[in-house]
Amino acid sequence: MREPRIVAMGGGEFDGLLDGFILSLTGRTRPRVCFIPTAGGDRDSAIVDFEATFGDRAETSYLPLFRRSGRDLAAHLLEQDVILVGGGNTENMLAVWRIHGLDRALRAAWEAGVVLCGASAGSLCWFETGTTDSFGPTLERLSAGLGFLPGSHCPHYDGEPSRRPTYHRLIADGMPAGYAVDDWAALYFVGTELREAVAARPAAHAYRVELRDGEVVESTLPTRYLGAG
Protein backbone atom coordinates (compact mmCIF):
# COMPACT_ATOMS: atom_id res chain seq x y z
CA MET A 1 0.00 0.00 0.00
CA ARG A 2 1.41 3.37 -1.01
CA GLU A 3 1.42 6.22 1.51
CA PRO A 4 -1.02 9.12 1.10
CA ARG A 5 0.70 12.01 -0.70
CA ILE A 6 -0.25 15.56 -1.67
CA VAL A 7 1.68 18.18 -3.65
CA ALA A 8 0.19 21.64 -3.00
CA MET A 9 1.48 24.24 -5.45
CA GLY A 10 1.14 27.99 -4.93
CA GLY A 11 0.53 28.83 -8.57
CA GLY A 12 2.27 29.29 -11.90
CA GLU A 13 2.30 27.19 -15.01
CA PHE A 14 3.99 23.83 -15.38
CA ASP A 15 7.43 24.22 -16.86
CA GLY A 16 8.95 20.75 -16.73
CA LEU A 17 10.23 20.98 -13.15
CA LEU A 18 7.18 20.82 -10.90
CA ASP A 19 5.32 18.46 -13.23
CA GLY A 20 8.43 16.32 -13.52
CA PHE A 21 8.73 16.19 -9.73
CA ILE A 22 5.10 15.06 -9.42
CA LEU A 23 5.45 12.36 -12.06
CA SER A 24 8.64 11.10 -10.42
CA LEU A 25 6.72 10.36 -7.22
CA THR A 26 4.80 7.60 -8.99
CA GLY A 27 7.85 5.51 -9.87
CA ARG A 28 6.30 4.75 -13.25
CA THR A 29 7.69 5.40 -16.73
CA ARG A 30 4.27 6.40 -18.05
CA PRO A 31 1.95 7.05 -15.09
CA ARG A 32 -1.81 7.48 -15.25
CA VAL A 33 -2.79 11.11 -14.64
CA CYS A 34 -6.37 12.35 -14.30
CA PHE A 35 -7.23 16.04 -14.52
CA ILE A 36 -10.22 17.47 -12.64
CA PRO A 37 -11.13 20.88 -14.13
CA THR A 38 -14.20 21.64 -11.96
CA ALA A 39 -12.90 24.92 -10.51
CA GLY A 40 -12.66 26.41 -14.00
CA GLY A 41 -16.08 25.15 -15.06
CA ASP A 42 -14.62 22.25 -17.09
CA ARG A 43 -13.43 24.76 -19.67
CA ASP A 44 -11.98 23.22 -22.82
CA SER A 45 -8.83 25.40 -22.82
CA ALA A 46 -7.74 23.98 -19.45
CA ILE A 47 -8.14 20.43 -20.76
CA VAL A 48 -6.13 21.31 -23.89
CA ASP A 49 -3.33 22.76 -21.73
CA PHE A 50 -3.33 19.66 -19.54
CA GLU A 51 -3.01 17.36 -22.54
CA ALA A 52 -0.22 19.50 -23.98
CA THR A 53 1.71 19.24 -20.70
CA PHE A 54 1.23 15.57 -19.87
CA GLY A 55 0.07 13.83 -23.03
CA ASP A 56 3.52 12.70 -24.18
CA ARG A 57 4.61 11.46 -20.74
CA ALA A 58 1.51 9.92 -19.19
CA GLU A 59 -1.71 8.05 -19.82
CA THR A 60 -4.09 10.99 -19.46
CA SER A 61 -7.78 11.38 -18.72
CA TYR A 62 -10.02 14.10 -17.38
CA LEU A 63 -13.10 14.01 -15.20
CA PRO A 64 -15.85 16.50 -16.14
CA LEU A 65 -18.68 17.10 -13.69
CA PHE A 66 -20.69 19.68 -15.63
CA ARG A 67 -21.00 17.16 -18.47
CA ARG A 68 -21.21 13.82 -16.68
CA SER A 69 -20.33 10.83 -18.84
CA GLY A 70 -21.75 8.13 -16.59
CA ARG A 71 -18.25 6.99 -15.59
CA ASP A 72 -17.87 5.55 -12.09
CA LEU A 73 -15.98 8.44 -10.48
CA ALA A 74 -14.57 6.57 -7.49
CA ALA A 75 -13.40 3.58 -9.53
CA HIS A 76 -11.71 5.78 -12.12
CA LEU A 77 -9.82 7.80 -9.52
CA LEU A 78 -8.59 4.68 -7.76
CA GLU A 79 -7.04 3.54 -11.06
CA GLN A 80 -4.83 6.65 -11.27
CA ASP A 81 -1.26 7.36 -10.18
CA VAL A 82 -1.79 11.14 -10.07
CA ILE A 83 -4.91 13.30 -9.73
CA LEU A 84 -4.37 16.91 -10.80
CA VAL A 85 -6.92 19.55 -9.76
CA GLY A 86 -7.10 22.73 -11.83
CA GLY A 87 -7.45 26.32 -10.62
CA GLY A 88 -10.50 28.54 -10.47
CA ASN A 89 -13.29 29.06 -7.97
CA THR A 90 -12.56 26.89 -4.92
CA GLU A 91 -15.91 27.29 -3.14
CA ASN A 92 -17.87 26.43 -6.30
CA MET A 93 -15.63 23.45 -6.95
CA LEU A 94 -16.06 22.04 -3.45
CA ALA A 95 -19.84 22.44 -3.61
CA VAL A 96 -20.02 20.57 -6.93
CA TRP A 97 -17.69 17.86 -5.64
CA ARG A 98 -19.86 17.25 -2.59
CA ILE A 99 -23.02 16.99 -4.69
CA HIS A 100 -21.39 14.29 -6.84
CA GLY A 101 -19.64 12.51 -3.97
CA LEU A 102 -16.22 13.36 -5.36
CA ASP A 103 -15.01 14.50 -1.94
CA ARG A 104 -15.39 10.93 -0.67
CA ALA A 105 -13.86 9.47 -3.84
CA LEU A 106 -10.83 11.72 -3.51
CA ARG A 107 -10.31 10.72 0.11
CA ALA A 108 -10.39 7.06 -0.90
CA ALA A 109 -7.84 7.71 -3.65
CA TRP A 110 -5.60 9.66 -1.27
CA GLU A 111 -5.73 6.92 1.33
CA ALA A 112 -4.86 4.39 -1.40
CA GLY A 113 -1.68 6.32 -2.26
CA VAL A 114 -2.73 8.16 -5.41
CA VAL A 115 -0.74 11.41 -5.58
CA LEU A 116 -3.11 14.37 -5.23
CA CYS A 117 -1.87 17.71 -6.54
CA GLY A 118 -2.83 21.06 -7.96
CA ALA A 119 -2.16 24.79 -7.91
CA SER A 120 -4.30 27.63 -6.55
CA ALA A 121 -7.77 26.09 -5.97
CA GLY A 122 -6.12 22.72 -6.59
CA SER A 123 -3.77 23.45 -3.70
CA LEU A 124 -6.14 25.14 -1.26
CA CYS A 125 -8.84 22.46 -1.41
CA TRP A 126 -6.84 19.84 0.52
CA PHE A 127 -6.64 21.97 3.69
CA GLU A 128 -9.27 22.86 6.28
CA THR A 129 -9.40 26.53 5.32
CA GLY A 130 -7.36 29.38 3.84
CA THR A 131 -7.55 32.46 1.64
CA THR A 132 -9.87 32.43 -1.38
CA ASP A 133 -11.10 34.85 -4.03
CA SER A 134 -14.18 32.68 -4.66
CA PHE A 135 -16.53 35.51 -3.66
CA GLY A 136 -14.99 38.29 -5.73
CA PRO A 137 -11.82 40.38 -5.88
CA THR A 138 -11.61 40.72 -2.08
CA LEU A 139 -9.99 37.74 -0.40
CA GLU A 140 -12.12 35.87 2.15
CA ARG A 141 -11.72 32.87 4.41
CA LEU A 142 -12.51 29.52 2.75
CA SER A 143 -15.58 28.11 4.47
CA ALA A 144 -14.75 24.40 4.53
CA GLY A 145 -11.97 22.66 2.61
CA LEU A 146 -11.66 18.90 2.39
CA GLY A 147 -9.45 18.83 5.49
CA PHE A 148 -7.15 16.04 4.32
CA LEU A 149 -4.36 18.31 5.57
CA PRO A 150 -4.81 20.11 8.90
CA GLY A 151 -4.73 23.87 9.27
CA SER A 152 -4.84 26.65 6.71
CA HIS A 153 -3.22 27.49 3.39
CA CYS A 154 -2.47 30.52 1.25
CA PRO A 155 -1.47 30.01 -2.40
CA HIS A 156 -0.15 32.82 -4.66
CA TYR A 157 1.69 34.23 -1.66
CA ASP A 158 4.00 36.42 -3.74
CA GLY A 159 1.80 36.55 -6.82
CA GLU A 160 -0.96 38.85 -5.52
CA PRO A 161 -0.27 41.88 -3.29
CA SER A 162 -3.20 41.24 -0.95
CA ARG A 163 -2.40 37.60 -0.19
CA ARG A 164 0.25 38.06 2.52
CA PRO A 165 -1.50 40.81 4.55
CA THR A 166 -4.87 39.05 4.32
CA TYR A 167 -3.43 35.73 5.45
CA HIS A 168 -1.69 37.42 8.38
CA ARG A 169 -4.92 39.19 9.35
CA LEU A 170 -6.96 35.99 9.20
CA ILE A 171 -4.37 34.14 11.31
CA ALA A 172 -4.47 36.98 13.84
CA ASP A 173 -8.28 36.75 13.88
CA GLY A 174 -8.21 33.07 14.81
CA MET A 175 -7.79 31.10 11.60
CA PRO A 176 -5.62 28.00 12.22
CA ALA A 177 -1.92 28.24 11.52
CA GLY A 178 -0.75 26.90 8.20
CA TYR A 179 1.40 27.16 5.11
CA ALA A 180 1.81 29.86 2.48
CA VAL A 181 3.36 29.13 -0.92
CA ASP A 182 4.78 31.44 -3.57
CA ASP A 183 3.95 30.93 -7.22
CA TRP A 184 6.31 28.29 -8.69
CA ALA A 185 6.78 26.62 -5.30
CA ALA A 186 5.09 23.57 -3.77
CA LEU A 187 4.64 21.67 -0.52
CA TYR A 188 5.07 17.89 -0.57
CA PHE A 189 3.15 16.05 2.15
CA VAL A 190 3.39 12.37 3.03
CA GLY A 191 0.35 11.55 5.09
CA THR A 192 -0.31 14.81 6.92
CA GLU A 193 3.37 15.57 7.54
CA LEU A 194 5.33 18.03 5.41
CA ARG A 195 8.18 16.12 3.76
CA GLU A 196 9.76 19.06 1.92
CA ALA A 197 9.17 22.27 -0.01
CA VAL A 198 10.33 22.46 -3.63
CA ALA A 199 10.39 25.16 -6.28
CA ALA A 200 10.75 25.66 -10.01
CA ARG A 201 12.23 29.15 -9.53
CA PRO A 202 15.24 29.93 -7.28
CA ALA A 203 13.45 32.82 -5.54
CA ALA A 204 10.20 30.93 -4.83
CA HIS A 205 9.64 29.66 -1.29
CA ALA A 206 7.14 28.20 1.14
CA TYR A 207 6.39 29.51 4.61
CA ARG A 208 4.92 28.50 7.95
CA VAL A 209 2.60 31.18 9.34
CA GLU A 210 1.30 30.98 12.90
CA LEU A 211 0.26 32.99 15.93
CA ARG A 212 2.77 33.12 18.78
CA ASP A 213 2.05 35.10 21.94
CA GLY A 214 -0.48 37.21 20.09
CA GLU A 215 1.84 37.99 17.14
CA VAL A 216 1.73 36.53 13.64
CA VAL A 217 5.07 34.89 12.87
CA GLU A 218 6.12 33.95 9.33
CA SER A 219 8.99 31.48 8.97
CA THR A 220 10.59 30.76 5.60
CA LEU A 221 10.90 27.01 5.06
CA PRO A 222 13.93 25.38 3.44
CA THR A 223 12.91 25.09 -0.21
CA ARG A 224 14.75 22.84 -2.65
CA TYR A 225 15.20 24.34 -6.12
CA LEU A 226 14.36 21.58 -8.59
CA GLY A 227 16.65 23.03 -11.27
CA ALA A 228 19.79 22.69 -9.20
CA GLY A 229 22.34 20.25 -10.54
Q: Which of 123, 152, 153, 156 is catalytic?
A: 156
Q: Which of 120, 123, 134, 152 is catalytic?
A: 120
Our answer to whether residue 24 is catalytic in this structure is no
- Nearest alpha carbon to residue 26 among 81, 83, 84: 81
Our answer to whether residue 156 is catalytic in this structure is yes
Cα dihedral value 131, 216, 197, 143, nearest 10: -20
Pairing mode, strands 127-132 and 149-154:
parallel
Among all residues, which ones are annotated catalytic?
120, 156
